[in-house]
Amino acid sequence: MEEIKIRKATKADARFIAENVLRALHIEEAGDEHIEHLAGICGREDTLYSWKNAVIALYDGVPAGLMIAYDGARYRRMRDLTFPMIGRYVGDDYPLMDDEACAGEFYLDSLAVLPEFRNKGIASALIREMFRLRDEAGIPLATIAVDPANDTAYRLYTGKGFRHDGQITVFGTTYDRLVCR
């Protein structure tokens, strides 16, 4: 029987994190230079996509998925550092966008499972880990922004107890804000 294990990411995982942050954002055609640039950001300790905020799902010992989640109280500080570093991707209007998270929330920023490992329980295992980390941090509310057109993701999160709580606009796209207490 195949086994799923979750481990904390390390700085050495920066490229895997970068590739899967792009996958979570449905950016499938990033060039190697873009991935390396983002990997540099993921290799830092103080950014949204830092290895410090990431966990990796292993399926029979093979990296199969990624989750980035963190205390929303740290969001604005990390965002204001991260987005200028990726300005050519996010544009210059990010100061006008809605905050994705705030104090009192544990924010699930990114979740991705490699295509060959989908439908094996990996996303569910990552979400369970997010709840464990949230509880460990003593934060009562988990939040996520989901593309309302992504039926698969919507079913996954609502099946785990998340409920609709309004909308937010991020990089010019409107997402549903889902919460779970």
Domains of the chain: 4-180 (3.40.630.30)
Query: pLDDT tens digit string along 129-141?
Result: 999 999 999 999 9
Sign of CA dihedral 151, 31, 62, 20: negative
Segment 18-74, tens digit of pLDDT:
999 988 877 777 778 889 999 999 999 999 999 999 999 999 999 999 999 999 999
Q: What pLDDT score does 23 carry?
A: 86
What the block records as the tokens of 57 is 């799902």
Summary mean pLDDT of the chain? 92
Give the global pTM. 0.93
How far is residue 51's CA from residue 59's CA, in Å, rounded to a whole number? 19
